[in-house]
Amino acid sequence: MARPVFKEPYLGPVSLQVQVYLSLPGGDLDNYVKSIQDGLNGIAWRDDRQVEKLVADVLVRRGQKERVEIIINRLILARKSI
């Protein structure tokens, strides 16, 4: 699903926000995040080592459709003046 969104992978540092919505409790958040990061290699970024800020949650919503919402942003590094 990310291929049409990203014309080419971002270069430089990025932030990643992941919200995993489940209908029942279960699974390991770190496994969900790692799978997402690996799956976006070469699509959203060249390598998941570029993810320098990460926010992730598992939210249990009984009776709702399970899904994952992902937000990726480029991080702008502030330059120090000399």
Check residue 80 and give its pLDDT. 59
Query: Of 49, 43, 53, 51, which is closest to residue 9 (Cα–Cα)?
Result: 43
Largest interatomic CA distance in the chain = 57
**35-82 pLDDT, tens per residue?**
999 999 999 999 999 999 999 999 999 999 999 999 999 998 766 565
Per-residue pLDDT at 4 exceeds 90: yes
Per-residue pLDDT at 3 exceeds 90: yes
Rounded Cα distance between 65 and 59, Å, is 12
Written as one letter, the residue type at 7 is K
Check residue 76 and give its pLDDT. 87
The SS3 assignment for 52 reads strand
Check residue 77 and give its pLDDT. 73
